[in-house]
Each structure stands twice: as structure tokens, then as C-alpha cells.
Amino acid sequence: MNSKFLKSGHIKIYKRENSKFWQMKIKLPKLKAIRSSTGTKILKYAENIALKKFSSLKKYNEIKIKNKSKNIYKKIHLVETEDLNKKEIEFILQEAIKFIKFNKKRIKKNNLLEGRTVFNLFFEDSTRTRTSFEVAAKRLGADLINVAVKDSSINKGETLLDTMTTINSMNPDVLIVRHPEEGISKKISMNVDASVINAGDGSHEHPTQALLDALTIKSRFKNFTKLKIAICGDILHSRVARSNIIILSKLGAKINVIGPKEWLPQNLNKLPVKVFTDMKKGLKNCNIVMMLRIQKERIVGKIMPNEKTYFKKYGLDYNKLQYAKKNAFVMHPGPMNRGVEIDSELADDVTRSLIQEQVAMGVAIRMACLDILIKNRDNVLSY
């Protein structure tokens, strides 16, 4: 025997004249046939090698084929939710849905972004955002470099923009930036040719957080136009609140913001929200209650509320949750302060709390964002 077919003819194992080694030919729909040596003279080993190659190509092909949807978001940066229209938001959510299933597989790896370079540049603490970008990039096959900003040349007086242009000279594909200065990601995006993702700039914006929150809500409700969502707590200092108000209202949800008077920004009247200082009134008929962390690092020099008093008035527990719709869900972007913004038992109650689901959705959203931005940049640069 000098040839054998496997997997309904998708794999052919054969021997060439003058060669002792088994060859393999693998053909999958919409992919060119791959022919190569298996590197072995033993048929059984050759079959195993071909089957492994077949299954990795199949996974790659599934992702490629699923990714054929029309690209609606054509920009190369993601720095402000203000820049996104409803169709673009829906497109990003749709792209991310492909990765939710992928992330539940036993082997979570493909080569969509093989050979691409992504930098994590976090000038502020982070667990969720930094690691989920790292997981996202690695699952797509990209090389991710975590820059240890605390040990960088910024400590020697180098300006932030000089650091960014230095890294940009290494030809990265994406720079992911978290920094306390509002608007810094936009400034960086105008000075580099890599794609820039804003991973949180001061109290201003955190676009991927709002997108992952929207994806979490979409996985439960499908239609945003029938939803009333409460965003509660330290609205003034929260970039999450701002980005969520913009994204969720563009998707059609009604938004109530609830918080102490001193933490409600002056310009709320310019945003499509109803404003409350009372949890009972603000939570009425809400399908989702999104709690916010008190941004202690941004309340420097001001009087902090007593945590017990704050929890009594604004912390979410089972009692206050009763003011919302029956079976309303609870969200929190994290990191959360148990017993300050949210009751610990409620936070862990998987029948009501979507907090861990938000983290899982974060990886899918960030995979989608990396994939979309890198492809858009390829089109602009015409590689």
C-alpha cells in the first residue's frame, strides 16, 4: 500500500517514489491543500501526525470562515466610546460572540494574530484589564510584551510620549495604554502608527470595559431597547460609568444613575440619563444594577464617606435589590470592595451576580478588539 485516505478524504497519506517517508496532503474547504512530509517511515505515526495537523487547521479554518462577516468598524484605534456609533458597537459585540465559544474549548489557541506584537503599557494598577488583554493576545497567537512601567526610563525623566515613540519604533501592532491622565490615549494615538487601545485614562473612559459589560448584558437579554439599567455609586470619578452610559444608551437602553450628590458630575444633564440620589427611587423597574467602586485614588484631598454609612445608603444588598425588577441582575466592573459597594453574599450569588461572567466576556471582547484593529491597520498600511 502506498496511499491511504482518512477523515472522509480530507487527508491523504502517500509515499513518493524514491522516498522512504510518508507524505501527507490535507485539504479543507476554502483553504489551499497542504502537502508535506510527515517525517516518519512508520504509517501509524504518519497517520497521527496528519490527524493532528488536520485538527489544528480545522480549528484555524473555523475561525477564519466565521470571521468573514462584513467589517463595520474601520478605525485603527479604540480610545473613546464617543467615537463609536450603534452599528460599530453591535459589530464589535458580534465579533466577540465568536470568541466566547472558542474560550470554552479545551485547547484555547489559534494563529489569527501569529507574528503580531502587542504591548501592555499600564501606568496604573490593574488585574482584570491587563491580564485579559494578555490572555486575549496569546490565545490569538500574538506576542504580548508587558512593559514593567515602574522600572522604565520614565523614572529617569523620559516623557511618556518619548517612551511611546521609542516603543513605536519597534514596529508593534497594538499599544494598550492605561494611565491616570485623561485623554492621554488619544494624544498617543496621534503620535504613533501602532493601533492604540485606551485601557482606562483617569476618570475619562474605559471603552473595553463598557463593551464587555454590554456583551454580558446581551448574553442575558438580547434586546437593549427594553432594558432599564441603574449605574450606582461614585459616578463622578468613574471612567466605567461614563463609557457605559455612552455605549448602553447608544444600544437603546434607558439609564438611571444613582449616587451621593457630591459624586454626581455637573455635566450629567448632557448625557442621556435620569439622575437619582435615592436608591429606592433610582432602582425602580431596573433590569440590571451596576455597582461602581469608590475611586479612592481619585478622591485625594477630599473627605471620604464613612464606609458603613455609605454602605447603608448606597451599598447594594438583597434588601435594596428588591427595589429593582424581580430577578434583576447585579454587575460590578471590579475590583470590588465587599461590604462597601456591595454585600459580599450578593456578589457571590451566581443566580443574581454577573460579576464573574463580566470577566469571561472581557477576554472575548479584547480578542475581538485586537483582531479588528490589527486587520484595519493592515488595510491602511496595505502590507
- Tell me which residues touch ligand CP (CB under 6 A): 126-129, 200, 206, 209, 333-335
- Smallest distance, Å, CB 281 to ligand CP? 27
Nearer to ligand CP, 23 or 129 (CB): 129
CB of 125 to ligand CP, least distance (A): 6
In the bound state with ligand CP, the residue whose beta carbon lies nearer, of 200 and 265, is 200
Of 65, 61, 2, the closest CA to residue 26 belongs to: 61
Q: What are phi and psi of 146, to 5 degrees?
A: -90, 110
Cα angle: 227, vertex 228, 233; to 5 degrees: 140
Helix (H, G, I), strand (E, B) or coil at 117: strand
264 residue type, one letter: L
**What is the torsional sign of CA 273, 278, 279, 283?**
negative
Closer Cβ to ligand CP, 23 or 238, answer by number: 238
Environment class of residue 19 by beta-carbon count within 10 Å: exposed (0-12), middle (13-18) or buried (19+)?
exposed
Closer by beta carbon to ligand CP, 282 or else 362: 362
Q: Strand order in 143-146's β-sheet?
A: 143-146, 117-122, 174-179, 195-201
Region at 312 (left for phi over 0; alpha for psi -120 to 50; beta for the rest): alpha
* Cβ at position 97, least distance to ligand CP in Å: 21
- Among residues 120 and 287, whose Cβ is nearest to ligand CP? 120
Q: Which is nearer to ligand CP, 123 or 323 (CB)?
A: 123
For the bound state, the minimum distance from the C-beta of residue 335 to ligand CP, rounded and expressed in Å, comes to 5
Q: How far apart are CA 78 and CA 126, in angstroms?
A: 19
Q: Which is nearer to ligand CP, 39 or 335 (CB)?
A: 335
Q: How far is CA 266 from CA 143, 228, 235, 257, 271, in A?
A: 43, 22, 11, 13, 11
DSSP per-residue string spanning 70-109: PP----S-B--GGG--HHHHHHHHHHHHHHHHHTTSSS--
Shortest distance, position 206 Cβ to ligand CP, whole Å:
6
**Buried/exposed 294-308: b ≥16 CB within 10 Å, e otherwise:** bbeeebeeeeebeee
Minimum distance between the CB of residue 61 and ligand CP, rounded to whole angstroms? 34
Q: Is the CB of 49 or the CB of 362 nearer to ligand CP?
A: 362
Cell 479612592, residue located? 296
Tell me the closest approach of the beta carbon of residue 126 to ligand CP, in angstroms. Answer: 3
Q: What is the closest distance, in whole angstroms, from the C-beta atom of residue 212 to ligand CP in the complex?
A: 9
